[in-house]
Structure 1
Amino acid sequence: MRADEARSARDQNAHRASVKMKPRTSKGRTAGRWVFLVLIFLIALGASLFFRLAPELRRPRKISPAFQIASPILLAGLPIAARFDFPIGSENGAFAYNAQPFTQNRHLGDDLNGIGGENSDLGDPIFAVANGEVLFAGEAGPGWGNVIIVLHAYEENGARKFVQSYYGHVETIMVERKQKVHRGEQIATIGTAGGIYWAHLHFEMREFTTPFIGPGYRDDPRGWIDPSAFIAAHRGAPDDDVGRQALQVNPTR
């Protein structure tokens, strides 16, 4: 019996040894190879992205002028605009018409046109509605074309207030950011936003000081002001004043 037990033990040990020394199957080798290749691919991809993006990541960040908050120095230094005029046609809005008034179809401004309609007013002058400082002047993206935003200070009931005038779809920009402008000064010409629309001026008045571009249409118009109503209420000119006057260089007018 002891001889049989010894022989059985030797057989078991030999079996264990053969199991340990059994080579891996081809299936296991294939799976390991795929894992290795995937790791190499991920490492190469990560290195490629790093070297492509590293210069951009190290580049100093500059905030677009269209999102910079107006500084307290700018707000304090703005001269008071004693009067507001309409931006196209005559000072009181003659020789122009409003094709899409404020809040119609959720519109946040007025679409002002020359009386000839269609593209008859293409290239016509656009004037600053009051004294102020240019916050933004440039390309504003699809659907907008060139845009100019001017910040104005005015007094109402003894309080100093601020309002923006916003000129959209303009063709030629004649001012630059941080430039002081005077009421009646030509700042642009009427455009088509690169041929998207018939020529017109998308004109807004806003209570904001930050010069963001904006949506143009919105259900909630809070922060936007009826442009025609605001200018009519702050004209400071007699009712029979027609025809745009020569540029006034006095910053209080």
Structure 2
Amino acid sequence: MDPYRTSGDNAFDFQRHFGELIRWVLPIFVLVTVAGFLAYLWFAPPPEESAVGGVDAPPARVGLLPVEQSDSETDSDALAFDPAFVTLRPLELAKAPVSPRFDAPMGSPLGALTYNAQPFLTTRHLGDDLNGIGGWDSDLGDAVHAAGDGEVVYAGWPSDGWGNVVMILHRPTGKPEVITFYGHLDTVTVPVGAVVRRGDRIGTVGKADGRYLAHLHFEVRPAASLSPGPGYGDSALGRFAGEPFIARYRGAPTDQQNAALGGAFSSGPNAATKSDSPSLQIETQTESEGEKP
């Protein structure tokens, strides 16, 4: 035994060992961390671009208007579609298909096997909620038809509250253009720009991703904006009651299911006459009545 060694020399020098650990291990840890971060930046996939603009735009399901292809990315970004700021141009209105007759969008052309669960302006509702007579979800997946001849000007998912929506532009014979609106669809079977005939299938009854019982939210609007807007409001917001509009401008006798194309002004033994069909004069709507007269 060394006579000059004391018992304190055998104690563990924590401060000295910890200092050596910091001096050797910490730089290695920092180098490994930085190398891993750089490798992630190098090999990470690029961010996905949204359908409505550049990489900074939030993901969204929206309807898109057909636009001309451009080689310039800047021009393409400038054409990003927001329905809240889109109005139909006079040329588009002038080119809209003539709609001499309108039929119910669900059930038979006269709306048989359906009922209106929430009519226009009932509890501030800005449309007609059409249901199958079985109630509940019995009409889920049932066909939804174009109410008249027209052009699809919107087809997409504007918001979770609306679900899938189709909007069709119509031009009643010699009268102001209108848009028919079909909301909460389960599926959409027509693209934007498609020309449809009265009775063509445009989609199926849905629930807006399970938010409601299955039904069709149906509206008739002036051909002004493509913004879906709210489904409820304190005023009519210029919209028309769908069922009375179709009844007034149907262009065929009330007992006639399938008139020849051309409606009130077609020729032939099955054609409706002017005396059979109501006047096509579209008058100013008052909000108290909530419909076109």
What is the TM-score normalised by the length of structure 1? 0.71
Kindly provide the amino acid, as one letter, of the partner of residue 247 in structure 2. A
The Cα shift of 1:139 comes to 0.9
Match of 1:222 in 2: 237
Are residues 1:62 and 2:96 paired?
Answer: no
Q: Distance in 1 between matches of 2:149 and 2:158?
A: 23
Q: Do the aligned residues in 1 keep the contact of 2:219 with 2:239 (CA within 8 Å)?
A: yes
Q: Which moved more, 1:215-224 or 1:233-242?
A: 233-242
After superposition, give the CA deviation of every residue in 1:10-64 in whole Å (9 maximum; x if it has no partner). Answer: xxxxxxxxxxxxxxxxxxxxxxxxxxxxxxxxxxxxxxxxxx9x97599533342
Q: Do the aligned residues in 2 keep the contact of 1:184 with 1:247 (CA within 8 Å)?
A: no
Q: Do the aligned residues in 2 keep the contact of 1:133 with 1:150 (CA within 8 Å)?
A: yes
Aligned residue among 177, 186, 206 for 1:162: 177
Q: Distance in 1 between matches of 2:242 and 2:115?
A: 13
After superposition, give the CA deviation of every residue in 1:186-243 in whole Å (9 maximum; x if it has no partner). Answer: 000000000111100000111133211110001011310011110000111222124x
Q: Do the aligned residues in 1 keep the contact of 2:88 with 2:223 (CA within 8 Å)?
A: no
The Cα shift of 1:246 comes to 9.9
Q: Do the aligned residues in 2 keep the contact of 1:128 with 1:183 (CA within 8 Å)?
A: yes
C-alpha spacing 1:55/1:111, structure 2 compared with 1 (3 Å): closer
Kindly provide the amino acid, as one letter, of the partner of residue 144 in structure 1. W
Q: Distance in 1 between matches of 2:260 and 2:209?
A: 29
Match of 1:110 in 2: 128
Aligned residue among 52, 61, 73 for 2:91: 73
Match of 1:137 in 2: 155
Which structure ranks higher in relative contact order (CA pairs < 8 Å, sequence separation ≥ 6)? 1
Q: Distance in 1 between matches of 2:251 and 2:259?
A: 17
Q: How many residues align?
A: 195
Q: Distance in 2 between matches of 1:206 and 1:99?
A: 20
Instruction: Name the structure where strand makes up a greater proportion of residues.
Output: 1
Q: Do the aligned residues in 2 keep the contact of 1:182 with 1:248 (CA within 8 Å)?
A: no
Fraction of identical pairs, as percent: 44
Q: Distance in 2 between matches of 1:189 and 1:182?
A: 17
Q: Distance in 2 between matches of 1:196 and 1:179?
A: 29
After superposition, give the CA deviation of every residue in 1:90-133 in whole Å (9 maximum; x if it has no partner). Answer: 11111100000000011110000001101100000000000111
The Cα shift of 1:141 comes to 0.9
The Cα shift of 1:249 comes to 10
**Ranges in structure 2 where 5+ consecutive residues have no aligned partner:** 1-46, 48-53, 58-72, 267-293
**Ranges in structure 1 where 5+ consecutive residues have no aligned partner:** 1-51
Q: Do the aligned residues in 2 keep the contact of 1:182 with 1:249 (CA within 8 Å)?
A: no
Instruction: Map residues 1-253 of structure 1 onto 2, 5 A cutoff.
Output: 60-64=77-81, 66=83, 67-155=85-173, 159-242=174-257, 245=258
Q: Distance in 2 between matches of 1:249 and 1:231?
A: 16
C-alpha spacing 1:233/1:55, structure 2 compared with 1 (3 Å): closer
Match of 1:35 in 2: none
Larger radius of gyration: 1
Q: Distance in 2 between matches of 1:222 and 1:199?
A: 25
The Cα shift of 1:175 comes to 0.5
Kindly provide the amino acid, as one letter, of the partner of residue 193 in structure 1. A
Instruction: Name the structure where helix makes up a greater proportion of residues.
Output: 1
RMSD: 2.6
After superposition, give the CA deviation of every residue in 1:140-162 in whole Å (9 maximum; x if it has no partner). Answer: 2121110001111113xxx5311
